[in-house]
Amino acid sequence: MSAINSLANIRIVLIQTSHPGNIGSAARAMKTMGLSELYLVNPKSFPDEQANTMSSNATDILENAVVVDSLLDALTDCRLVVGTSARHERSLAWDILEPRACAEQLVKQAQTAKVAVVFGRESSGLTNDELALCHHLVHIPTNPDYSSLNLASAVQIVSYECRLASLINPTEESSVEDQTEERVTADAMEGYYKHLEVAMIEADFLDPETPKHLMTRLRRLYGRVNITPSELNILRGMLSAFQKRK
């Protein structure tokens, strides 16, 4: 199973969610990042129209959501279980991970088995009994003066990190930049610099006796642009137009 497909093995578990709208928003957040498996432990109201509304067409995730009575029922087949914590559990001997490191572990394990990320109640998080079922805790580094992260936002960040971790597999990486127009050759750039130098000398902007410094500055400037062939055409066309000016 490839890394990107491992997202199918990452289960999001929401415990006793009070607001059905949050379940819908969480489903939407999951789906934008390619996650699909949702378990709900004793939700206050589900199915619920508000959940459907907030899911914004991620209704397939809601339709396939599994409702269970206890957290253990949501985890039986999972090899790795990570609990989310809004607080820094300083007093506990927990292995607290940042979302990024946590996602790496989740994606790795999910290549061969089910894994789960558990999100507690909106108001009070996870109980000690629930924490005891988790192998790790993940803490999203929030503003210490205001850590009021919405449930769906927490799901969004963890799902986002899982997606990024799943994309690390080099064969899956088709970066956006690869698809943009290619860069010009070094040769073509040399042609441009030559053209620029001549035009500047003609315009008395560059002293041919001491051309070095100015050309160096301009090479540095244009050198970091990654100019495309069509852009170079524009720049050279412009230069020619300036040269022709009477």
Q: Which stretch binds its own copies (CB under 8 A): 45-53, 70-78, 125-133, 147-155?
A: 147-155
Pick 11 or 31: Cβ nearer its own copies: 31
Decide if residue 17 touches its own copies (CB under 8 A).
Answer: no
- Candidate list 56, 112, 124, 185; residue touching its own copies; CB under 8 A: 56
DSSP of 15-58, one letter per residue? ES-S-HHHHHHHHHHHHHTT--EEEEES-SS-S-HHHHHHHTT-
Q: Residues in the chain, how many? A: 246
Give me the least distance between CB of 130 and its own copies, in Å please. Answer: 20
Judged by CB under 8 A, the chain residues 32 through 51 that form the site for its own copies are 32-34
Pick 72 or 132: Cβ nearer its own copies: 132
Site string for its own copies, 125-144 (x = CB under 8 A): --------------xxxxx-
110 contacts: CB under 8 Å, gap ≥ 6: 6, 7, 8, 9, 10, 80
CA distance 51 to 173: 34
Handedness of CA 128, 104, 162, 61 (dihedral sign): negative
Decide if residue 57 touches its own copies (CB under 8 A).
Answer: yes
Site string for its own copies, 161-200 (x = CB under 8 A): --xx--x--------xx-xxx-----------------xx
Which contacts of 239-243 are long-range, i.e. CB under 8 A and separated by 24 or more positions?
239/195, 239/196, 239/199, 242/199, 242/203, 243/198, 243/199, 243/202
Judged by DSSP in three states, 148 sits in coil
Q: How many residues bind its own copies (CB under 8 A)?
A: 68
Decide if residue 204 touches its own copies (CB under 8 A).
Answer: yes
Would you state the structure tokens that stand for residue 197, as one six-digit string? 């130098």
Report the interface residues with its own copies, using CB under 8 A. 25, 28-29, 31-34, 56-58, 88, 90, 92-96, 100, 139-143, 146-150, 152-153, 156-157, 160, 163-164, 167, 176-177, 179-181, 199-200, 202-205, 214, 217-218, 221-222, 224-228, 230-231, 234-235, 237-238, 241-242, 244-246
